């Protein structure tokens, strides 16, 4: 099978290249670049192993422009582009080849909400009805036939996986605090992302309701049975000086009694057959346990005397939070066993 990657030189594109290089069902990769077409892939990404060469035969080992990528002839197109550009470039392919969009362009069902959050009219509002939210564990059946799979954001993935099983037993708003590695901001040259600015330094940013992932999280929280239509979050992300990785802590008030055992059993039941969501063997998961894997580790603590639920999760923002989940969705969409080509062993 052939996979086209739009934005192959960005962080999530580079991780897609690595996962697909080792994927047994992908025999051809077409890496697309806006700014570096014609350049050998290994010049812009020297860390790639030589095994990739066998999968780059059709492009002669080089990055290509979109006009030379023949996306219609591919089995799948990954769009690892910034929002706006992603819908502009990948949108017209919808219906001709399955699209897995890592950007935010097809995540929000309401185009007016998109305009409010992203500051521009949606480039293809007509495609929103043909898009499904690709949080695989919750929307697997929709993903199987979708024209456009809107891969979730990293913060929403790590927030929603432990929280969705509890929407019927908690009061909203819930308090969500998240810590992210620097690669979550993409591979751009920005003063705020310089080593001297980020090393030995941590800060909250866009606190409360200001982060663009808040509407995405709230939209997903309002869908499961028993979820209130007013479900909301107070969300505060923090930037911490690690390259990749993300942890999320959520605190919610319980609306009915729930014991520690009942809460743990609920998570164990919901995710019993899921290869990529694990109840952490630790009381609280750590980022290194999931680094470079497609796994989300979760844990729960019930403060019974306070009627509070605490949820913890850890993902790698570039894998389960982006490229890994995108390949998980590709596997489902193309009828490949879901765990194919995806790592589950973390670091120590």
Ligand X SMILES: NC(=O)c1ccc[n+]([C@@H]2O[C@H](COP(=O)([O-])OP(=O)(O)OC[C@H]3O[C@@H](n4cnc5c(N)ncnc54)[C@H](OP(=O)(O)O)[C@@H]3O)[C@@H](O)[C@H]2O)c1
- Given 154, 170, 248, 302, the catalytic residue: 154
Q: From the CB of 11, what's the least distance to ligand X, in Å?
A: 4
Residue 296 annotated in active site: no
Residue 34 or 266: the one with the smaller Cβ distance to ligand X is: 34
Residue 85 or 223: the one with the smaller Cβ distance to ligand X is: 85
Rounded to whole angstroms, what are the CA distances from 298 to 58, 66, 128, 165, 249? 41, 39, 31, 12, 10
Q: At what angle do helices 324-334 and 11-21 cross, to 10 degrees?
A: 50
Q: From the CB of 152, what's the least distance to ligand X, in Å?
A: 8
Q: From the CB of 262, what's the least distance to ligand X, in Å?
A: 33
Sites of contact with ligand X (CB under 6 A)? 7, 9-13, 33-36, 80-83, 85-86, 102-103, 153-154, 183-184, 186-188, 317-318, 321-322
Residue 82 or 173: the one with the smaller Cβ distance to ligand X is: 82
Task: Report how far residue 277's alpha carbon sits from residue 169's, in angstroms, rounded to the nearest whole number.
Answer: 21
Q: From the CB of 139, what's the least distance to ligand X, in Å?
A: 17
Residue 5 or 97: the one with the smaller Cβ distance to ligand X is: 5
Residue 33 or 331: the one with the smaller Cβ distance to ligand X is: 33
Q: From the CB of 257, what's the least distance to ligand X, in Å?
A: 37
Which residue is listed with tokens 């403060």?
A: 303
Exposure b/e, 125-150, CB count within 10 A at least 16 = b = eebbeebbbbbbbbbbeebeebbbbb
Residue closest to ligand X when measured from CB atoms: 10
**Cα end-to-end distance, the chain, whole Å:** 34
Task: Report how far residue 163's alpha carbon sits from residue 298's, in angstroms, rounded to the nearest whole number.
Answer: 10
Please give the sequence-ordered ranges of beta strands (E in DSSP) within the chain, or none if there are none: 2-6, 28-32, 76-79, 99-101, 131-133, 148-150, 170-180, 203-204, 233-239, 246-254, 277-279, 296-303, 308-315
Active-site positions? 154
């Amino acid at each position: 099978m052939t996979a086209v990657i739009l934005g192959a030189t960005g962080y999530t594109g580079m991780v897609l290249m690595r996962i697909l290089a080792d994927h047994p069902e992908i025999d051809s990769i077409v890496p697309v670049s806006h700014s570096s077409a014609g350049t050998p892939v290994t010049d812009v990404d020297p860390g790639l192993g030589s095994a990739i060469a066998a999968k780059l035969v059709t492009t002669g080992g080089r990055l290509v422009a979109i006009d030379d990528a023949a996306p219609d002839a591919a089995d799948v197109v990954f769009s690892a582009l910034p929002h706006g550009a992603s819908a502009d470039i990948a949108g017209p392919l919808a219906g001709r080849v399955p699209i897995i969009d890592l950007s935010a362009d097809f995540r929000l069902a309401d185009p007016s909400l998109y305009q409010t959050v992203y500051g521009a009219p949606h480039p293809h509002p007509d495609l929103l009805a043909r898009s499904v939210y690709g949080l695989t564990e919750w929307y697997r059946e929709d993903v199987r036939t979708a024209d456009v799979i809107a891969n979730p954001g990293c913060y929403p993935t790590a927030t929603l996986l432990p929280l969705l099983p509890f929407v019927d037993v908690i009061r909203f708003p819930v308090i969500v605090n998240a810590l992210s590695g620097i690669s979550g901001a993409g591979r751009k040259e920005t003063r705020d992302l310089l080593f001297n600015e980020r090393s030995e330094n941590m800060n909250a940013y866009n606190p409360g309701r200001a982060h663009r992932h808040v509407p995405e999280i709230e939209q997903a929280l309002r869908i499961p049975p028993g979820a209130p239509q007013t479900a909301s979050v107070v969300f505060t992300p923090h930037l911490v000086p690690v390259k990749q990785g993300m942890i999320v802590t959520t605190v919610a008030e319980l609306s009915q009694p729930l014991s520690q055992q009942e809460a743990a059993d609920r998570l164990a039941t919901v995710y019993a057959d899921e290869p990529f969501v694990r109840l952490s063997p630790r009381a609280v998961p750590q980022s290194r346990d999931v680094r470079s894997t497609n796994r989300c580790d979760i844990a729960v603590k019930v403060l019974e005397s306070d009627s509070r639920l605490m949820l913890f999760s850890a993902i790698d923002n570039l894998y389960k939070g982006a490229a890994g989940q995108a390949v998980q969705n590709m596997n489902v969409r193309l009828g490949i066993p879901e765990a194919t080509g995806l790592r589950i062993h973390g670091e120590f």
